[in-house]
Amino acid sequence: MSKTKLEYIWLDGHQPTQELRSKTKIVDDFDGNLDSCPIWSFDGSSTEQAEGGASDCLLKPVAIYPDPERAKGFLVMCEVLDSDGKPHPSNARATIDDDDNDFWFGFEQEYFLMDTETDLPLGFPRGGFPGPQGKYYCSVGGRYTWGRDFVEEHMDLCIEAGLNIEGINQEVAPGQWEFQCFAKGAKKAGDEIWVARYLLNRLTEKYGYYIELHPKPIKGDWNGSGMHANFSNTTLRTCGSQETYEKICEAFRPEAENHIDVYGAFNEERLTGLHETASIKDFSYGVSDRGASIRIPIITVENGWKGWLEDRRPASNGDPYKIAARIIKTVKAVDN
């Protein structure tokens, strides 16, 4: 009889930003299949998802990946259900209307690597500031680059886990990095970002770092952190029509506030109209415009208006499930 470690991962009920939780289940003679992962329970009163008098919440496995740091281990992403088996109010994954996986998403996850001793981003000296922005983006060398060993290890862990990570790069501010994940299907895209975040946070435990997903952790003339959402469906991938693209972009205008509501807490500190952002008070779109709310990639235009759109407003702490659900709702309103 063999023993396998299943790490059940879920989102808690913390507000305004949900956090990851996880615990380990040991099972016998596991075959590696998602269908063989049993529904489990947890104490929802300790995660702000239930009252103490009726505290049981259920974990429904929805995705499984090899655990790259454990022998005979798997990472099991879960949805949270009430004790009656219905989706819990904190379960945004269950609200995604993409059962046919027509929507493809590529999320660009930015984050700051923070030193637990100083509570400052790597590269920020205690009691002062590094040189101004301009030399850190995609930089090489110890003068402008911090945390590469950590970032490289995280990338390797994601690849070993089978996540479709598409790249990494240092970002505009010191200690700020980004990774990109792509998936065909909105739910899968959200699963992969959350599991990648889980691996990111778990890795900090051995480095003495922590991950900061606040969209503007360093005040002043420093870039904030976003999670740009690149998205397409069959219409965007095949229409070949500038008019259709502009019609879809215009559909986002009257829904701007509804989108901002689920694009991450404290996003108003980042979306100022500066540092490659559009103002949170405005809505705009444009070809190759990184200062717009929605950027139409130049590749899409050069490919005869067949491709994707990039919503640049989501914050680094946004829930990819909520973001995808809202984008899909707006785009489908046009298609219908």
Q: With 0-12 CB in 10 A as exposed, 13-18 as middle and 19+ as buried, what is 83? A: middle
| Strand partners for 211 | 113
Query: Could you read off the pLDDT of 169-209 as tens digits, one per residue?
Result: 999 999 999 999 999 999 999 999 999 999 999 999 999 99
Write out the two tokens for 56: 């049981």
- The answer to whether the predicted template modeling score (pTM) of the entire model surpasses 0.95 is yes
Residue 224 has pLDDT above 90, yes or no: yes
Q: Is the pLDDT of residue 65 over 80?
A: yes
For the chain, list the domains and their CATH numbers.
Answer: 3-91 (3.10.20.70), 104-335 (3.30.590.10)
- The pLDDT score that the predictor gives to residue 336 is 61
CB count, 10 Å around CB of 327? 25
Q: b/e string for 110-134 if b means 16 or more Cβ within 10 A?
A: bbbbbbeeeebbbbbeeeeebeebe
**Spacing of C-alpha 312 from chain mean position:** 13
Q: For 88, which DSSP code?
A: P
Measure the CA–CA gap between 57 and 143, rounded to whole angstroms. Answer: 49
Q: For the residues 118-124, what does the mean pLDDT come to?
A: 94
Helix, strand, coil shares of the chain, percent, nearest 5, are 25, 30, 45
In the three-class reduction of DSSP (H, G, I as helix; E, B as strand; rest coil), residue 333 is classed as helix
Query: In this structure, what are the phi and psi dihedrals at residue 55, rounded to the nearest 5 degrees?
Result: -95, -10
Rounded percentage of the chain residues whose pLDDT exceeds 90: 93
**How far out from the chain centre does Cα 95 lie?**
17
What is the mean predicted confidence (pLDDT) over 213-232? 95
